[in-house]
Amino acid sequence: MIMVRLFGMLKSMAGASDGTLALDLPEGSSVRDLIETLERQHPQIWELIAKKKVVVSVNQEIAQEATPIRETDEIALLPPFAGGASGTSRGA
């Protein structure tokens, strides 16, 4: 069983008020297998991944489709985040 952390709108899309999604993936699975499972079980989320509007991270690093997944890995689906630096520096 793989636990996937969800953020932002993905929580409501998956109906996961606690922000996690449990997926049954066999040993030796990759991010590609995760994406294929999402295509079947959560097509709205899969569509965002396919359109590159959501990325998959494994152990806090953006993952590629060939990245292997283990049960102990921290997996997250990351929608775009707003905010950050405004381009001006303070105190200058």
Q: State the CATH number of the domain containing residue 10.
A: 3.10.20.30
Q: In this structure, is residue 90 part of a structural domain?
A: no
> For the chain, what is the total number of helices (H) and then of strands (E)?
3, 5
H helix intervals, the chain: 9-14, 31-41, 43-50
Q: Per DSSP, which regions of the chain are E strands?
A: 2-6, 20-23, 55-58, 61-62, 75-78
- Per-residue pLDDT at 32: 97
Phi, psi of 60 (to 5 degrees): 65, 25
Instruction: Provide the domain limits for residue 60.
Output: 2-78
User: pTM, whole model, 2 decimals?
Assistant: 0.83
Q: Mean per-residue pLDDT for 6-11? A: 93
Q: How confident is the model at residue 35 (pLDDT cuts 50, 70, 90)?
A: very high
Q: Give me 44's structure tokens.
A: 């709205």
Asked, for residue 89, whether it belongs to a domain, the answer is no
Q: Is it the case that residue 11 has pLDDT exceeding 60?
A: yes
Q: What is the mean pLDDT of the chain?
A: 90
Residue 86 lies in a domain: no
pLDDT of 82 reads 62
Tally Cβ neighbours within 10 Å of residue 13.
19
Question: Considering the domain boundaries, does residue 67 fall inside one?
Answer: yes
